[in-house]
Structures are given as C-alpha cells and as structure tokens.
Amino acid sequence: MFWLSATLPPGHAQSADAPPPSFVNTLTAALAQENMAAVLNRAADRVNVSVNGSHSVYSRQQATHVLQAFVDRHPAQQVVVQTVRWMDARGLLVARYERRRGPPLTFYLRFQKRDRTWRLDALHVVPPR
C-alpha cells in the first residue's frame, strides 16, 4: 500500500502555458504506483537518467527498463510532490519518494515544451545527503 499526495504545493510557480494540473497528478500517481512506463509515456525520444550518481542518456524504452528495475528494488510507501515549476518552455517537478525500507529519495523530473507538447527529458533520483 502507498500514500499519495499529488496536489500542487502552495506557492508553486506556473506560467500561462503550463500543462493542466491533471498532467502533474497523472505523473505523480504513476510514480507512486511504481509504473515507470506511465511516467515515461510523455518522455522525449532520448531521456537523461541519473540514479544514485550513475548517469546516462537512454531511449525511452531503455529508461523505462532501468527505472522500473530501480523502483522494483525500492518500492514506494509514499510519494509527495514538493515543487512544481513551469517557466516558459521548461518545467520541473520535484517529488519526495519515501521507500518502504531505507531513507527517502528525491525524484527530479525535468520537462521541455516542444511543438505545444510537454515532454519529460530528464529524470534524476537523488539519495539523501
């Protein structure tokens, strides 16, 4: 079982052409459900992925496989959106990923708007310091 807080945090920055709140809610729910295929559904063809300091650029399919293997090893107990920012053609979603075992992780999802479509172009998983 997991808990999900997918509401936009107070004071989030949003530009006029930001995607609807359902965009953030869908991504956060997919992350909380450990469904990396759904998270990467809106990814660019090439995705910059960093997990615990290991960094690579993958195809969407490869990124899905790498990230799914990671979350399968580290199941979520709760995912809480901490920051959402949409400025011009760039976006950032920061979520606290509380694992069932071990310290929480921070997921940084970076977006870029191309041809009127928001695409995930980077996903970084950062352990606590």
CATH 3.10.450.50 for the 3-9+20-126 domain, yes or no? yes
Within a 10 A sphere around the Cβ of 55, how many other Cβ atoms? 11
Residue 77 in tokens = 């107990």
pLDDT tens across 4-24, in order? 444 445 444 556 678 888 888
Mean pLDDT of all residues belonging to the chain? 86
Distance CA 68, CA 62 (A): 10
DSSP for 37-50, written as a single string: HHHGGGEEEEEEEE
How do the domains of the chain map onto residue ranges?
Answer: 3-9+20-126
State the DSSP code for 28: H
pLDDT tens across 114-125, in order? 888 899 999 999
Pick out the chain residues at pLDDT < 70.
1-16
Q: What pTM did the predictor assign?
A: 0.85
